[in-house]
A and B are shown apart, each in its own frame.
Chain A
Amino acid sequence: MTDRKKILDLYFLDARARLIDIAAFMDRVDRADGGDDFRYTAFCAALKALESEKQDRARKVLLVFSDPTEEPIPAATTKAACGAWPGVENA
């Protein structure tokens, strides 16, 4: 088991910087014009996964962004992934 103080010594400043970057990103989105976007909706839902007290927050965040369906889609209309599942109608 790794010592908690050592983990904080190694990674606290890096995580702090990333957290402030996320806060600034959300401020930037709020300042910008435009309507809802499924990617940002998923992003905000993923933030709630951070409140979990179980040690599987990374897995939960990834699942929030994931396609929850099980069957193959009829055809691929694009090669790219965008990072969040757009829903059945837009997939």
Chain B
Amino acid sequence: MRYIEPHGHMVSRTTDDYQAMAIAGCQAVSEPAFWAGFDRSSAQGFYDYFCQLTQHEPRRAAMFGLPHYTWLCINPKESEDIKLAEEVLSIIPEFMDCPNVLGIGEIGLNKNSRNEMLVLEKHIDLAASNDQLILVHTPHLEDKRKGTRLILDVLKSDSRISPERCIIDHVEEHTVGMVLDEGFWAGMTLYPETKCTSNRAIDILELYGNEQIWMNSACDWGISVPLAVPRAAQEMKRRGCGSRHIDKVIYQNPIEFMNQSPRFNTPEGL
């Protein structure tokens, strides 16, 4: 089995996790910037984080032969403070030419507030002005439906944005249809309690097909499973999915999306 982990917060994981992922067949890791579980007090904290994402994590992943890619932003959980968000946005261009940066992400909404919307629009402008791919975080639980709708409307209102260059992550049964119908890519996050279980993700694939969709573990500092993608692949096999279908969802689709960035190198053997 070969797979790509398109959304893993590896700064929160141990080196053992890199090793286990490589042994399980992982061919590359993509790591969006996110909330660290606590609020950073200044833009300097983000500067250090972006250095970690563009310099340190690639070295850690390379110990196990894993190419490491990343995405930059201030997460919507820290977007309520507009002044801090603007300071962080101003330092992102300095890192945009780093060889492992694929785009802007994971941007989006958390509680669907006006300030979060304002900062989302600024991120979209930054991505559009610099021809960057976009990786979107959709809100949690009761806020997801409304937030997903607001995010899609903002993206569609900017004529510079191509839906096929945006992945809308953390979709569930009540949001996947609107995302795919409007031409965006959809990401399914495999979590034990929130977001999608493996079985529900496979149900969604049965109902919506396997085009413009991927699965990820979004492993981070919370309850999450770094090997969620290969475990879901095993469940697909148990349910009777063929190896070509599984390979498309967990390997070829992430490559197809990320290959739209000139910085992504296709693993050998595709």
The answer to whether A and B assemble together is yes
- Min Cβ gap B221→A in Å is 14
- A contacts, CB < 8 Å to B: 2, 6, 10-11, 56, 58-59, 62-63, 65-70, 72-79, 81-85
Decide if the interface of chain B is mainly helix, strand, loop or mixed: helix
User: Binary interface profile of B, 187-206, with partner A (CB < 8 Å = 1, else 0)?
Assistant: 00000000000011001001
15 CB-based A-B contacts, threshold 8 Å = A58-B203, A63-B145, A65-B141, A68-B146, A69-B146, A72-B114, A73-B112, A74-B114, A75-B115, A76-B110, A78-B111, A81-B141, A81-B143, A82-B142, A83-B141
- Min Cβ gap A59→B in Å is 4
Contact B117 A72 (CB under 8 A): yes
Assuming the A-B contacts A58-B200, A66-B142, A67-B142, are A72 and B150 also in contact, with contact meaning beta carbons closer than 8 angstroms in the complex? Answer: yes
Q: A83 touches which one: B114, B142, B206 (CB < 8 A)?
A: B142
| Interface residues in B116-151 (C-beta closer than 8 Å to A) | 116-117, 139-146, 149-150
In Å, the complex CA distance between A3 and B143 comes to 36
Q: 11 other contacts beyond A56-B173, A70-B146, A73-B113, with CB at 8 A cut-off?
A: A2-B239, A10-B238, A58-B172, A62-B144, A67-B142, A72-B114, A74-B113, A75-B80, A75-B115, A79-B77, A81-B111
